Amino acid sequence: MKAKPLLLKSFLLTFFLSLAFLLLTLQPNIRKTTNPPPQNPVSGNGDLRIRPGYKSYEAYIQRQLDKTLNPKLRKIWTTRDWDRKIDVFAKFFEELKQKHLLANDSKALCIGARVGQEVAALRRVGVSDSVGIDLVPYPPLVVKGDFHNQPFENETFDFEFSNVFDHALYPSKFVGEIERTLRPGGVCVLHVALSRRADKYSANDLYSVRPLVEIFRASEMVDVRRVDGFGLDTEVVFRKRKKNQRS
Ligand SMILES: *[C@@H]1O[C@H](CO)[C@@H](O)[C@H](O)[C@H]1NC(C)=O
Ligand SMILES: *[C@@H]1O[C@H](CO)[C@@H](O)[C@H](O)[C@H]1NC(C)=O
């Protein structure tokens, strides 16, 4: 009669101890490899959803590298896609110049630039001081850098462009780094997919621009329009507030 509760007790004890052990071992593991700080809670309205399933920051980075380093994709990006994509990007950048959101003397960054087609397009339209970052460098257009932890000083750029927001595991950190490295008054242009799901390498899904407006805390949204950008359907433009400007 006494054996049962004892058995139950020791079972429960073992269970909770293992649970605690698991939590303790998993948690620091995630912490340790996740150098970007945990994201701010984003958007109560559910229009931005982080895809589950990454056990660690390293597992996430590895998955991103799987795409970036895929030899077939890289071949296509640098050959068949090269001219076609540069033409389309150049058209987008020309339009931004006409709206005075970008100028020849803007210092410009392309985030998640892969082989640097956007950078080549910027240079073609006359924005010569432009560079890209990605996990894998592609000199001279793209230098190595993680968009969750940009390798640049505060207030470096006048203009930042990205079409990889959906790859951000920490959207607040992605945006925080843009706002940190933009000069006051600087412009960030994102191409995002609102009406269709991006790809299997995406780390989040975005259903409206509202979450962006929330997480661009140091900026104002100055333009939104529909575009046809390689599966991305919406262009959103933010301008970082000047120091004395109130939100
Ligand atoms: C900007 O650069 C382009 C391409 O080099 C050039 O055609 C254009 O005249 C320049 N615009 C200004 C305002 O300097
Ligand atoms: C850079 O910006 C971040 C975030 O705005 C701030 O916390 C940090 O103190 C700044 N660093 C320098 C060197 O100004």
**Short-list 125, 126, 158, 160, CA closest to 145:** 160
- Give per-10-residue mean pLDDT for the chain (247 aa): 58 58 46 43 71 91 91 91 95 98 98 95 98 96 97 98 96 98 98 85 93 97 94 96 80
Give the three-state DSSP class for 114.
coil
155 lines ligand 2 (CB under 6 A): no
Give the number of the atom of ligand 2 that is nearest the alpha carbon of residue 154.
1
Q: Which residue's structure tokens are 């210092």?
A: 107
DSSP bridge partners of 152: none
Ligand 2 centre to CA of 150 (Å) is 13
Closest-CA residue, ligand 1 atom 13, reads 104
Q: Which residue's structure tokens are 């004892």?
A: 6
pLDDT on residue 18: 61
154 lines ligand 2 (CB under 6 A): yes
pLDDT on residue 243: 83
Which ligand number lies closest to the CA of residue 180?
2
Indicate the pTM of the whole model. Answer: 0.82
DSSP bridge partners of 225: 235
Architecture per CATH, 48-240: 3-Layer(aba) Sandwich (3.40)
Contact assessment for residue 216 and residue 57, using Cβ atoms and an 8 Å cutoff: no
Measured in whole angstroms, the distance separating CA 75 from the mean position of its chain's CA atoms is 23
The secondary element (H helix, E strand) that includes residue 58 is: helix 57-68
Give the three-state DSSP class for 52.
coil
Closest-CA residue, ligand 2 atom 6, reads 180
Q: Alpha carbon of 94 to those of 59, 119, 189, 209: distances in Å?
A: 38, 13, 13, 23
Which ligand number lies closest to the CA of residue 127?
1
Ligand 2 centre to CA of 234 (Å) is 30
104 lines ligand 1 (CB under 6 A): yes
Q: Return the exposure string of 25-50: e unless at least 16 CB atoms fall within 10 Å of the residue's CB, then b.
A: eeeeeeeeebebeebeebbeeebbee
pLDDT on residue 20: 55
Closest-CA residue, ligand 1 atom 1, reads 126
**Short-list 232, 171, 142, 150, CA closest to 43:** 171
